Structure 1
Amino acid sequence: MSKLARATFGLMVATIIAKILGFGRELVLAAGYGTSIYSDAYVTAMNIPQVIFAIIGSTLATVLIPMYMEVHRDEGEEGSLKFVNNVFNLVVIGCIVLSILGFIFTEEIVDVFAMGYEGEALQVAINFTRITILGIVFTGLSYVMTSYLQIKNDFITPGLSSVPKNVIIIVATLLSIKYGPYIMIWGTLLGMVSEFFIQVPYAVKAGYRYVPIIKIKDKYIKKMAWLIAPVLIGVAVNQVNTLVDRTLASTLPAGTVSALNYSNKLISFVIAIFITSISSVIYPILSQLSNENNKERFTASVIKSINCVIILVLPITVGTIVLSLPIVRVLFERGAFDARGTSLTAMALAMYSVGMVAYGLRDVLGKIFYSLQDTKTPMVNGVIAMGVNMVMDVVFIQFWGLAGLTLATSLSSLACIMLLFRSLRKKIGYYGQDKIAKATVKSLVASLIMGAVAYYSYHYMMLFANTGGKTEFIVLMIAVILATAVYGALVILFKVDEIRIVTDVVKRRLKR
């Protein structure tokens, strides 16, 4: 697991760099446009291609890795390269068709994603979306390059691929404040294009060579298509949940969609750094072990990956809930982002955080099933959870508004995790249930104690400081560092095995 730990740590560092820039992009948007019609329209325009490719692209990447392993085993390096290029060329054709359809039916698509928009807000959202939808081809190809690089054990390049995109968008957003909001959306399109091209040289270095091949009747493409359908539905479920949340949020007062977006970005920041890093590294390994029928090592990898998510994300969950208001105030409250925006975003963030562990475990558990070439189980469980989410959305929004939407998402995600764990037991029998339960209890106790330390230390120090500005930032950082130290000490005291992965990597880095 030391190789896994090093790869995961490296990807985490790369992801932190990329996500800090991505978060900086959100800060610039918040400061420049606050919770206005332009920020709402921009979020909607960005969300439409993201939803399309979170569905199609994630599905493609999920199925491509285990299929590549199978092709490489059967056909060797030359055959697997032809397979990747076949997928590449088919993606180009499919994305061009989607882009044309999206451009023609933009108004209808925006009406689905934001049914509460009207007047100027609707027209701006339509105009913005017509521009971003042109980048669909490059986004799709970026997923293919990411998968290929991960197969070749290059996790750093995909992790950093969004850096130039975010830099371009930040510059464009700053310029748009002075020269008009359309500068921001054209810069976003340019950033989407750059995310693909930055990966190409590294893929070539890893062995990729372009081959002009299109073979729809290839047996591996046929099998891939058969596997894709359930994954497509399973991934689409998550995006439908997001779509329902945003659509219902558009019926609430102006700025609610932006507040939902900012809180979601904060959660996504944590997920990308910790969970996506773990699942991206573990997935090719699980696929290979499954292909080799190595059950003992497969089970050990499952335990390690699940427990790592739990011990890393549980304390962040508790900390975010108890400190949601100061976190949002320190990060966002400046420029056009006022106290109302802070209150809305903090409320949404706290409710989203309830399901943070579930979001992470859903990703990892999904990868476990996909590595076993079982794409139906995550789909079925996801559809059930989606139904639960929709029902709770409609009910909860009547009583708690935005908080109800985000709480419904968290509770439905927790329900999905329970279903996935039950299905995993039926699928492979023992997967380390006792070890996972033990690590969960220890981490939860440590997290609750840590949460109390974070809450009371922050509020005690704030008695002697001013709200907002650098002073509150320093107080918040001190509270977070103190709480982290307490949590670290407790999990070591409780002898949580997976903490050794983190400490071993840190020790090696310090020695270097």
Structure 2
Amino acid sequence: MFKSIIVNFLGIFNSRILGFIRDLLSASVLGANIYSDIFFVAFKFPNLFRRIFAEGAFAQSFLPSFAKAKYKPRFTWLVFKKLFIIILIFSLFVTLFSNLVTNILASGFSEEAKKLASPLIALNFWYLDLIFIVTFLASLLQYKKHFATTAFSTALLNISLIIALLLSMNLPKEQIIWYLSFGVIIGGIAQVIVHLIAARKYKVLKLLYIGAKSKKEADISTFKKHFLPSILGNSTAQISAFIDTWLATFLISGSISYLYYANRLFQLPFALFAIATSTVLFPKITKNLNDGREKEAFESMKKVFWVLFYLLITATVVAIISSKEIIRLLFEHGAFTAKDTEFTSVVLIMYMIGLIPYGLNKLFSSYLYATHKHLKAAKISAISLLVNIVFSVALIFPLKVYGLALASSIGGMVLFILTLKEFGFSEFVKFFEKKYIFYMILVILISIILAIVFKQLILFII
């Protein structure tokens, strides 16, 4: 299991490094202004669905149903066909009514900005169709214990966007955001291609082909019952960031960009540690629980919990103490000013407060899905999201853009507490032993020392 986690970690790490190169170029070329805001809004909607689909929601509803399906080829084909048709219709709607969608997504934009954003929103949305194909094939590859293709292929999107920025960096900003939007689509096509190659190698395409030709009946009602609750249950952090972006359209120009760059840094440890571990852990505990090996499933969770907890503590402490220096080192170039650094660094601190609860929740929510408690997980997520919205509206007036990020962290805390309640506080307490608590204190102290050294090192480099 830990070998697969390391493969996932390396793939995601590779992608995130390229992502930071992309963001560094983006900050330097576009800065934090109305043009960067327009692109981030245009990409936010399909990227929201990409994160929901690709970071667990689809696999956690599909794999348990797939494992129990009597005739897997037909079941697989029916699920793919029905969902792809729905997404295709959705994409056509966004394209045909892009002005309406823009008015909803960017309510606070001026009419001129909305006019610029409308066609870009329509173009970027087609990325969702491509990433659904990727996610579907990735879930089947996960079932066959192949994680490498999905983990490393996410880098292709970043490579495509980096090339788009390099090709357009000397052009007017209005043209640059068009290059970036086409880069999104090309990156999505590249991800589909590498997954098709892997799917052929592991006989996933053969499975789909047999299912498409078969006339046998297959029951997908269990999948449909679990799918929407799984989507909602996995999407709190993503919908929270989306709501932040929407509310930020009413704030000063650049606010969306501050949220975007800070959230990108938040997503680094979240993806590297929480998503990498839960993606590998979920199929394992699902099989253990289905086979009646509950003790083995809990032992796996306990081991992963402490490793994940230590990593999240370290990331949180380092990021909070060194927030301004990290932003300055990564983004303060070209059009990205010292003022932008000040704003973004505080937003980052507000987001990082929620890293531990969001990260650990990813682990414990996997248990809920493995035990078919999709609806319960969805209710918990809905409550957390409601809390987030209430605090976002309450804090946006006194704290502006900082309040939006802080509200997201508060929502994450509520999410984690409610998930633990459903998992069982008594079971959770069993995870704690004296040696682990000692190590936790040691990790905190080492993290503080690392953060101070890291901060001084960045100051020396700058």
The AA in structure 2 aligned to 1:128 is: L
| Structure 2 counterpart SS, 1:251 | coil
Counterparts of 2:322 and 2:457, CA distance in 1: 13
TM-score normalised to the size of structure 2? 0.92
Instruction: Say whether the 8 Å CA contact 1:69–1:287 is kept in structure 2.
Output: no
Instruction: Say whether the 8 Å CA contact 2:289–2:370 is kept in structure 1.
Output: yes
Report the count of equivalent residues: 454
Deviation at 1:442, TM superposition (A): 3.8
Counterparts of 1:187 and 1:460, CA distance in 2: 37
- 5 Å-filtered alignment, 1:22-421, equals 22-55=19-52, 58-71=56-69, 75=70, 79-179=71-171, 180-181=175-176, 182-208=178-204, 209=206, 210-211=208-209, 213=212, 219-421=218-420
Counterparts of 1:176 and 1:159, CA distance in 2: 28
Counterparts of 2:368 and 2:435, CA distance in 1: 22
Deviations 1:264-310 (A, max 9, x none): 01111111111111011111101111111111101111212222221
2:430 counterpart residue number:
434
Counterparts of 2:215 and 2:384, CA distance in 1: 34
Deviations 1:321-356 (A, max 9, x none): 111000111111111111111111111111110110
The AA in structure 1 aligned to 2:137 is: M
Counterparts of 1:234 and 1:312, CA distance in 2: 24
Counterparts of 1:306 and 1:419, CA distance in 2: 17
Relative to structure 1, the CA distance from residue 93 to residue 328 in structure 2 (aligned partners, 3 Å threshold; closer, same or farther) is same
Instruction: Say whether the 8 Å CA contact 2:358–2:415 is kept in structure 1.
Output: no
Deviation at 1:436, TM superposition (A): 3.7
Instruction: Say whether the 8 Å CA contact 2:236–2:381 is kept in structure 1.
Output: yes
Counterparts of 2:20 and 2:435, CA distance in 1: 31
Counterparts of 2:190 and 2:461, CA distance in 1: 37
Deviations 1:381-405 (A, max 9, x none): 1111111111111112222111111
Instruction: Say whether the 8 Å CA contact 2:321–2:455 is kept in structure 1.
Output: no
The AA in structure 1 aligned to 2:60 is: T
Higher RCO structure (Cα 8 Å, ≥6 apart): 2
Instruction: Say whether the 8 Å CA contact 2:124–2:181 is kept in structure 1.
Output: yes
* CA-atom RMSD in angstroms: 2.3
Counterparts of 2:139 and 2:122, CA distance in 1: 28
Relative to structure 1, the CA distance from residue 54 to residue 460 in structure 2 (aligned partners, 3 Å threshold; closer, same or farther) is closer
Counterparts of 2:244 and 2:182, CA distance in 1: 27
Q: Which moved more, 1:330-339 or 1:181-190?
A: 181-190
Counterparts of 2:433 and 2:396, CA distance in 1: 34
Counterparts of 1:135 and 1:53, CA distance in 2: 8
Relative to structure 1, the CA distance from residue 218 to residue 439 in structure 2 (aligned partners, 3 Å threshold; closer, same or farther) is farther
Deviations 1:59-110 (A, max 9, x none): 3222111112212xxx3xxx32332222222232122111111112222222
| Structure 2 counterpart SS, 1:334 | coil
Counterparts of 2:279 and 2:141, CA distance in 1: 11
Relative to structure 1, the CA distance from residue 282 to residue 461 in structure 2 (aligned partners, 3 Å threshold; closer, same or farther) is closer
| Structure 1 counterpart SS, 2:219 | helix
Counterparts of 2:10 and 2:457, CA distance in 1: 31
| Structure 2 counterpart SS, 1:386 | helix
Structure 1 residue 8 corresponds to structure 2 residue 21 = no
Relative to structure 1, the CA distance from residue 460 to residue 228 in structure 2 (aligned partners, 3 Å threshold; closer, same or farther) is closer
Counterparts of 1:39 and 1:214, CA distance in 2: 47
Relative to structure 1, the CA distance from residue 419 to residue 213 in structure 2 (aligned partners, 3 Å threshold; closer, same or farther) is same
Counterparts of 2:262 and 2:358, CA distance in 1: 14
The AA in structure 2 aligned to 1:194 is: A
Deviation at 1:233, TM superposition (A): 2.8
Q: Which stretches in structure 1 are left out of the alignment for 5+ residues?
A: 474-512
TM-score normalised to the size of structure 1? 0.83
Deviation at 1:247, TM superposition (A): 1.4
Counterparts of 2:295 and 2:447, CA distance in 1: 36
Picking from 8, 15, 20, the partner of 1:18 is: 15
Counterparts of 1:400 and 1:450, CA distance in 2: 32
Deviations 1:179-226 (A, max 9, x none): 432122112111122112211111111121132639999553111001
Counterparts of 1:449 and 1:342, CA distance in 2: 28
Counterparts of 1:59 and 1:8, CA distance in 2: 18
Deviation at 1:50, TM superposition (A): 1.7
Deviations 1:97-140 (A, max 9, x none): 11111112222222222221113322222121111112322111
Identity of aligned residues (%): 23
Counterparts of 1:396 and 1:139, CA distance in 2: 34
